[in-house]
Chain A
Amino acid sequence: MGRTLGTGGMFRGKTVAGPSQFEAPYGNSLVGAYAMVARRHMHEFGTTSEQLAEIAVGVREYAGLNPHALYRDPITVSDVIGSRLVADPLHKLDCCVISDGGGAVIMTTAERARDLRQPGVAVLGAAGGMTHWNISQMGDYTTSAAAVCAPEAFARAGLRPSDVDTIQFYDSFTITVLVLLEDAGFCKKGEGGAFVAEGHLRRGGRLPLNTDGGGLSSCHPGMRGIFLLIESVRDSCAVRAASRRCPMPRLRSRSARAAGSRASAPSCWERRSASHGRGAWRRVEEAAARARPRVRAVLGGRRGRSPALPGVSRVRTPPVLPAAAVHRVRRRSRVGRGVGTRHRAHLHRRATVRRAAVQGRAALRRWR
């Protein structure tokens, strides 16, 4: 007789009410719940652990490019399969990391964004959905709320999954990504395993996933959504920086696609890797890790086109999000200066803001 009462920590020491009372006594854990989804997906569609592992391997490749990622060393499919089982069929490397972290985004109107120092990144469509709280209440284990809200978001944006160049998905576990890929319409239900096995999500593939290293390799402080937004914005800015040298709309228009230009148009990744190739983005990131004060100045654009960083002088609008940091740098620069200096700083700032506004307007025009 092997009897256990509770292996997970989800409900331990808590008073449970509602549907949880029918779940808590059996000790299922959070990873256990995802494991049930994975097992069901395997049962219904023949998905394999190797296919799931492919997601972790691909995300780790991108983590290698992010100096801030927690785990950066490359892994293989057999590394994932060989790591210990946490909740059958999910292995340790199928699971996200546990870390601290935090982030912020600034949302504003397109009108106001025109006057900001950093160019805006437009939100074309958004939608949300909610299906269940307890895993025992999940209707269909292989379908998430994304099946409802992703089509809605696409409809609002006037786009289709085939228009998308790069995706940032919540990747608490590899199975999460697989289900989201299907639900968001990047492949048909049940075909997620085969889709990822074709390597589309890998570096150089046509649909880069979680290019900061995701929750699987970079960071996961419990709530990860903010990092998806931050990476999307950084990606857009990096692409924009690259496309200044090889101008190109971020999203191909449908008419252009119909005319057959899709095959010849460089993917977002190619454009981004063009900037990687020149090393600009890498250098900014590496310098960010090395010399924080100097980079803050670059982030803030305080020195205009200046960075004392070799090779990045052509990245005139640094690919960054944190306007809070920008603000801090600007504030700090005013402290303890004489009036004359302050006036010069004011003139310089005004010129910089005007220049950024021109760039911002141009960026927004490109979006429309």
Chain B
Amino acid sequence: MIELDEGVRMMGNVTDCDVDRVFVGMPVEAYAVEAADKVGVPYWRPAAQR
């Protein structure tokens, strides 16, 4: 679950991060992944990694 600064929560996958290093409260940022033809879904990666 990703809780946005705006207050809503949404489901998402955290990528670009070793699974053992994911923790509750970790800052993440969104990026888009094309799940199917012309269907994009937001994914998440650690915020520091720009």
- In the complex, the chain A residue whose C-beta lies closest to that of B20 is A88
- A39 and B24 form a contact (CB under 8 A): yes
- B9 and A3 form a contact (CB under 8 A): no
Complex CA–CA separation, A87 to B12 (angstroms): 16
Residues of A within 8 A of B11 (CB): 22-23, 26, 28, 135-136
Residues of B within 8 A of A5 (CB): 35
Q: Is B4 an interface residue when CB atoms closer than 8 A count as contact?
A: no
- A136 and B9 form a contact (CB under 8 A): yes
Binary contact track B19-50/A, C-beta < 8 Å → 1, others 0: 10000100000000101000001010000000
- In the complex, the chain A residue whose C-beta lies closest to that of B9 is A136
Within 8 A of A (CB), among B1-20: 1, 9-13, 15-16, 19
- B10 and A22 form a contact (CB under 8 A): yes
Please tell me which one of the listed residues A2, A4, A40 contacts residue B24 in the complex, with CB atoms under 8 A apart. A40
Residues of B within 8 A of A98 (CB): none
Q: Is A1 an interface residue when CB atoms closer than 8 A count as contact?
A: yes
Residues of B within 8 A of A3 (CB): 13, 15, 33, 43
Q: Is A36 an interface residue when CB atoms closer than 8 A count as contact?
A: yes
- A26 and B24 form a contact (CB under 8 A): no
- A25 and B35 form a contact (CB under 8 A): yes
Residues of B within 8 A of A22 (CB): 10-11
Q: Is A365 an interface residue when CB atoms closer than 8 A count as contact?
A: no
Complex CA–CA separation, A228 to B24 (angstroms): 35
Residues of B within 8 A of A28 (CB): 11
- B15 and A26 form a contact (CB under 8 A): no
By CB atoms of chain A within 10 A, which of B1, B13, B24 has the most? B13
* Given A3-B33, A23-B11, A26-B13, A136 contacting B41 (CB threshold 8 A): no
Complex CA–CA separation, A28 to B41 (angstroms): 15
* Given A25-B35, A40-B24, A43-B24, A4 contacting B13 (CB threshold 8 A): yes
Residues of A within 8 A of B43 (CB): 3
Measured CB to CB, the residues of B under 8 A from A are 1, 9-13, 15-16, 19, 24, 33, 35, 41, 43
* CB-CB nearest 8 A-B residue pairs: A136-B11, A43-B24, A23-B11, A25-B41, A26-B13, A26-B11, A3-B15, A25-B35
